[in-house]
Structure 1
Amino acid sequence: MTQEQLAEKAEIDTSYLGQIERGVRQSPSIAIVGKISRALGIGEGELLADREEDASYETHADEEIGIPERIARELGRMTPKEQRLYERIFRTLRELSELKD
């Protein structure tokens, strides 16, 4: 499948898809990841799983960005089901923290 065909099938702009592929856009939204994965017929987790080659870069980059950005990056790699689970965990932790105060 060409980049143009994938962009059309995913209903996203071809130039935007090219930026994602080249790494210019390193954190596409969850909605965009979902569109691309559906167009390819694979799960979001599978689409984002092939990240071993970037592991050393990401480890170094994690030291330079804040916690919210790291959390957002990790959530972007998860399936919608995993994201909902983490949201519930986060809400529970926040509620427990408020009880402590």
Structure 2
Amino acid sequence: MEKDSIGNKVAHRLLQLRQANGLTQEQLAERANIDSSVISRIERGFRTNIRLETLDKLTKALGVNYTDLFTFTDDKQIQKRIEGKLALITDKEALQTLEKLIDILSEK
């Protein structure tokens, strides 16, 4: 399967969401009432023609909506964008405020 295909992106996103919820494939399968082999094949990119019914079950079991499922982000890209924006800020007080905000967010 092509690395940047929608099927691969969905597979990777489902894996991210499952792990973020602290679930094994078996636990997610039980919650979604589907076979764990289906989740395994999806996450490994072997099943790209996912039925809408299956996607619906998975989103409900993960407690997300379709927007969350189809939001493909790369943490490294986000970090680079933030760093680029920070480099544009020259106001010392604004930088100090941002630093405090980052400290607060880092504690969570």
TM band (smaller chain): 0.3 to 0.5
TM-score relative to the length of structure 2: 0.44
More helix, by proportion: 1
TM-score relative to the length of structure 1: 0.47
